[in-house]
Amino acid sequence: MLNTIMGILLLLTFIGLIVYCVKGGNLLVGFLVMSILWCIIARVPLTTVVTTVFEKSVEDYGSTIAIIIFGAWFGRIIVNTGIANYIIKKTVELGGDKPLIVALLLNVVCALIFTSVFGVGSVMAIGMIVLPILFSIGLDKKTALGAYMLSVAAGMYLNIAYVSQFFGLFKGITYSNNYIHFAIIATIIQVAVVIAFLVFHYFYDKKSGKVRAWAAPNAEAAPEVKKGLGWYCIFVPFIPIILVAVFKWSSCPAFLLSIIVGLLFTRNFKSYKGVVEILQKTLFDGVSDCALLIGMLYSIVIFQAAAKQAAPIINALIGGIIPHSPLVLVIIFCILAPLALFRGPLMIFGAGAALLSIFQSMNVFSTPFLFALFVIAPVAIVASSCPTQSWGMWGLSYSKIEPREYLKTNFPWAWAIFIANELLAYFLMGK
């Protein structure tokens, strides 16, 4: 009887967390409060709370945080040294005076850049170069913003710093050949959808009179490229992936070498003082970009540790209700994909963290399957179409577009990506 009461209280607080996340509550505070509540309800010994829930969980996540910081640092190097500007300028020149071709090339290149560049600051900095160009060539604002956000998200499947957040939550999952195989196909699928999105909206908007005639990018829109940058700079964003995926380097040394190469190729080693200044500034900016993210991730792993302590109670109450067939669960996730929006129960960096903890506590599903189940929504749904995503909120403010209009434009395409990549992940990793 006591266990039943505790189980009901745990579920009620879980529902409260969902409501809190959907209404835009602070996740750092929410997960820390939930961790304390679940430890109290499950009557976890104080010693376990202190040493296991709040200490060991954070220590074990330390290597992941290091990868995130180095990835954000590298992202700032790509932006601050002018490499991103150089690549974008050459892409625009390649497209000539054909607006659709320019838009397609620009968004495909953005997807490639974000396979290694990480951090909301980098997304914003590159967006302030790309979006004015897309606006100036005549694209409707909602089409330009929607395509850019879909492109940014497309790069995240392969982005070492981004996916490392998930690896820290799923023990045993690494940036291995198995994952890379999935990530490459998932990226191709999302890029293909970006192309379809642009082609459809370009001709639809053109028919309805929303596409303006071509106008060469004005001085404000055109990226300023630092003098002395050579063609070889275009390879710098892809060095970390090559080192990790092909040569099996660890992530942090791969990022560090890429940072050095980036500074070398952009001629920033002319003086000791100059290189020290740019290293310090890019590191500071990179850490600032991901500081709040790191706090949220720490709160999630603390909550996961608390949920493991409450696992037997939850499993006894609802273990028989949840489908035990992996394929059935994948189909249910595909149908309920909108629940990933607004940090809902299918979004792991939101209320989904609690749902994942419940699934893990059941000891029914394998870790690779749960990884396949939960890794898609943050990219395909949230990063691609949710107004609550950090860079999504910036994009809406910058473009002066209403969240409802953005959601209406992007979500149907994001849902299609989610279904395709969810099934792909299941068959390649989850089975």
Q: Give the burial class of 374: count Cβ atoms within 10 A of its Cβ; 0-12 exposed, 13-18 middle, 19 or more buried.
A: buried
Per-residue pLDDT for 121 more than 50?
Answer: yes
Each residue of 292-330: pLDDT tens digit? Answer: 889 989 998 998 889 888 878 877 777 677 788 889 999
Domain layout of the chain by residue ranges: 2-430
Rg over alpha carbons for the chain, rounded to the nearest Å, is: 22
Q: Determine the straight-line distance between the first and last CA of the chain, rounded to whole angstroms.
A: 37
Rounded-to-integer distance, Cα 52 and Cα 202, Å: 54
Each residue of 75-107: pLDDT tens digit? Answer: 999 999 999 999 999 999 888 888 999 999 999
Question: For residue 219, what pLDDT is reported?
Answer: 41
Q: What is the DSSP letter of 271?
A: -
Per-residue pLDDT for 380 more than 90?
Answer: yes
Specify the pTM. 0.90
Question: For residue 319, what pLDDT is reported?
Answer: 65
Cβ atoms 88, 106 nearer than 8 A: yes
Per-residue pLDDT for 218 more than 50?
Answer: no
Backbone angles phi, psi at 390, to 5 degrees: -55, -50
Tokens of 285: 């900016």
Rounded-to-integer distance, Cα 426 and Cα 78, Å: 34
For residue 285, give the amino acid letter.
Answer: D
Tokens of 24: 């835009």
Of 417, 321, 323, 331, nearest to 373 by C-alpha is 331
Question: For residue 220, what pLDDT is reported?
Answer: 46
Backbone angles phi, psi at 319, to 5 degrees: -55, -30
Average pLDDT of the chain to the nearest whole number: 89
Quickly state the pLDDT bin for 227 (edges 50, 70, 90).
Answer: low
Q: What is the dihedral of CA 317, 321, 327, 332, to 10 degrees?
A: -110
* Non-local CB neighbours of 149 within 8 Å, separated by 6+ positions: 383, 384, 385, 389, 391, 392, 395, 410
